[in-house]
């Protein structure tokens, strides 16, 4: 996977270290530079320029005109005519930089949903950017210091929301945003906003909308699976990957890949195999053992710009390595939960009817109900704010406030209200029904900062081209315009049927049993491995954690966690700290 790099200085020429940063004199670089600025594009990225603009772009456009032009040239031609509005005319996974020679103005741009990432550092009259955050640390004026004020956010969510990062001087451009730098000024604002179904919207007709949904999904998959490239799909056996496989198989030969984890209780391999047989794909199962897991640990730590967010990243990487031997492009199902209404809203949807009735009760009665049910239904105590925000829904919760207070050395870093302060901007971006509001918070948070970061990095380390058909802008916009109650229906074993439209679309293809089976997360017997084949590995990592060279944790806090490994959820906490410590050592912040 390629990348782009650049730097702009106000009123001065580039220094030697800054010219080295953009790759002057290095192989596999295409460079444009002038007095006080320089942009470069590495292999698989493109650069185009004329007398007015220079464009560097990493990624690709889908449904681009068949002119043979590079993605950078397509954007350059459109930017000259339409400026920032040209971004609504392109579709795909990309980040770009546009430098205006005449006005000495730099624009940084990121695709609507954050499939690709770009980072920048801004000090005074200097701005440097790169698709690899670590490369910014090579600049003498960019610190390797940990942004301790963001530590609690990382511990709570397992990631930090853009524009914040864990590095003091490094920022990340949020998905669908535009950063404009001129002189000493940096202006950060969104260029893309989703429009959701309004509150209390009427339930739409099923047949017409299901037909339109399938048409848009067909178009999205075809745009990413056409041409002479060999196409594969990461097939988990769940609804999202099964739908992509079904549509891709209509276009020609498809390879499918499934990961299985040794000793896992909830193995998805049999279900994925049944889907592959029904759709007649060439199927391969990749098995992950404790040995291959441990061997891949260091590679993942080296290859990720920030701490690995989930132990499942290692099986994802091994799956991508295996797929690279057979295909050129892999299709993944990221985004399905966020646009169709996945399991993270099932429980809330089942409870909403009762909560809505209780919030409409007269004041005294509502206060009594809040006293009885307020802990389980916090929206009763805060009826004027979105239900999802009242419940602090949006991304996983690893270390809650109490857990952070028993772990972090400095009480000022605990930040009790961190979840609400991080999630509130996402909920304020949209006014819709509670299900859509919750889906938007997941779309803007965990999907961009966790799921896409993991799958993208795993594919990049394997040299595999990754594409995300479910994050097609037309498809996502269509789904956002539908009420949450159309996507998540009442009924079912848990009180709600999640991803109803996908189930209806796939029922004739896969049959009722496969479509209605409960979906499970990627299996991982990490706790069992810690006490068995990976015990020495765990002890080695625990010894490093205890050193705590940055003095982040209270004395004995790590030992306390390790002693409670048998408790549910504790292994996830320990992994979070192991990956954080390994990343800090890798960037030499300790």
Residue 190 pLDDT: 97
* Nearest Cα residue to 130 out of 116, 145, 113: 116
Rounded (5°) CA angle 468-472-474: 170
What distance in Å separates the CA atoms of residue 556 and residue 546, rounded to the nearest whole number?
8
> Do residues 525 and 261 make contact, with C-beta atoms less than 8 angstroms apart?
yes
Largest CA distance in the chain: 74
Low-confidence stretches of the chain (pLDDT beneath 70)? 1, 64-67, 264-267, 355-361, 363, 365-376, 379-380, 492-494, 519-524, 526, 589-590
> Do residues 157 and 77 make contact, with C-beta atoms less than 8 angstroms apart?
no
The helix/strand/coil state of 29 is strand
Residue 13 pLDDT: 92
CB atoms within 10 A of CB 118: 29
**CATH numeric code, 206-340+446-516:** 3.40.50.620
Residue 28 pLDDT: 83
DSSP per-residue letters across 249-291: HTTS--EEEEEEETT-SS--HHHHHHHHHHHT-EEEEEEE-HH
Fold of 4-190: 3.60.20
Helix, strand, coil content of the chain in percent (nearest 5) = 45, 20, 35
For CATH 3.40.50.620, the residue range(s) in the chain are 206-340+446-516
What distance in Å separates the CA atoms of residue 554 and residue 563, rounded to the nearest whole number?
15
Residue 525 pLDDT: 73
Q: What is the pTM of this model?
A: 0.94
Which value, in Å, is the radius of gyration of the alpha carbons in the chain? 24
- With the C-alpha atoms ordered 134, 140, 142, 143, is the resulting torsion angle positive or negative? positive
Q: Which two tokens stand for residue 356?
A: 């809505």
Element (H, E) at 544: helix 535-547
Residue 522 pLDDT: 57
For CATH 3.60.20.10, the residue range(s) in the chain are 4-190
Residue 227 pLDDT: 74
Contacts of 262 (CB under 8 A, 6+ apart): 287, 288, 289, 290, 525
Contacts of 313 (CB under 8 A, 6+ apart): 300, 304, 454, 457, 458
The helix/strand/coil state of 452 is helix
């Amino acid at each position: 996977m390629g990348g782009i790099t650049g730097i702009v200085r106000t009123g001065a020429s580039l220094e030697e270290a800054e010219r080295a940063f953009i790759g002057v004199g290095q192989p596999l670089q295409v460079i444009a530079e002038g007095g006080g600025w320089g942009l470069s594009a590495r292999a698989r990225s493109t650069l185009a320029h004329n007398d007015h603009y220079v464009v560097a772009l990493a990624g690709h456009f889908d449904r681009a005109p068949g002119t043979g032009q590079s993605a950078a040239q397509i954007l350059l031609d459109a930017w000259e005519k339409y400026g920032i509005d040209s971004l609504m005319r392109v579709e795909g996974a990309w980040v770009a930089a546009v430098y205006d020679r005449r006005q000495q103005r730099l624009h940084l741009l990121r695709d609507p949903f954050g499939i690709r990432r770009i980072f920048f550092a801004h000090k005074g009259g200097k701005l440097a950017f790169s698709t690899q955050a670590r490369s910014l640390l090579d600049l003498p004026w960019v610190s390797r210091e940990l942004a301790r004020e963001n530590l609690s956010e990382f511990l709570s969510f397992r990631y930090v929301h853009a524009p914040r990062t864990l590095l003091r001087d490094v920022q990340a451009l949020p998905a669908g945003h535009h950063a404009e730098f001129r002189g000493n000024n940096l202006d950060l604002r969104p260029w893309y906003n989703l429009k959701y179904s309004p509150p209390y919207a009427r339930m739409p007709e099923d047949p017409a909308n299901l037909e339109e949904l399938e048409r848009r999904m067909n178009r999205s998959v075809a745009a990413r699976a056409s041409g002479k490239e060999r196409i594969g799909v990461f097939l988990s056996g769940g609804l999202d990957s099964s739908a992509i496989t079904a549509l891709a198989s209509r276009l020609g030969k498809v390879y499918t890949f499934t990961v299985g984890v040794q000793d896992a209780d909830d193995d998805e391999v049999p279900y994925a195999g049944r889907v592959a047989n029904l759709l007649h794909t060439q199927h391969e199962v990749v098995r992950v053992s404790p040995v291959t897991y441990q061997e891949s640990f260091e590679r993942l730590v080296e290859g990720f710009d920030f701490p690995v967010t989930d132990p499942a990243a290692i099986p994802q990487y091994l799956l991508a390595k295996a797929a690279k031997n057979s295909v050129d492009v892999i299709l993944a199902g990221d985004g399905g939960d966020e646009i169709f209404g996945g399991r993270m809203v099932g429980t809330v949807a089942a409870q909403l009817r009762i909560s809505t009735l209780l919030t409409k009760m007269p004041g005294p009665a509502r206060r009594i109900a809040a006293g009885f049910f307020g802990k389980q239904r916090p929206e009763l105590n805060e009826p004027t704010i979105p239900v999802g925000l009242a419940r602090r829904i949006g991304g996983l919760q690893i270390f809650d406030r109490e857990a952070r207070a028993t772990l972090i050395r400095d009480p000022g870093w605990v930040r009790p209200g961190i979840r609400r302060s991080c999630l509130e901007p996402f909920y304020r971006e949209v006014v819709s029904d509670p299900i859509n509001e919750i889906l938007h918070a997941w779309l803007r948070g965990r999907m961009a900062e966790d799921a896409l970061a993991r799958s993208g990095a795993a594919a990049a380390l394997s040299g595999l081209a990754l594409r995300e058909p479910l994050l097609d802008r037309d498809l996502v916009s269509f789904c956002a315009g539908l009420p949450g109650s159309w996507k998540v229906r009442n009924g079912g074993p848990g009180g709600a049927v999640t991803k109803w439209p996908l189930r209806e679309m796939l029922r004739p293809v896969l049959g009722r049993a496969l479509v209605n089976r409960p979906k499970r997360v990627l299996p991982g017997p990490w706790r069992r491995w810690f006490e068995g084949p990976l015990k020495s590995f765990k002890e080695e990592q625990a010894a490093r954690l205890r050193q705590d060279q940055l003095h982040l944790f209270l004395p004995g806090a790590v030992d306390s966690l390790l002693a409670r490994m048998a408790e549910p959820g504790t292994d996830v906490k320990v992994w979070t700290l192991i990956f954080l410590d390994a990343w800090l050592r890798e960037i030499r912040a300790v």
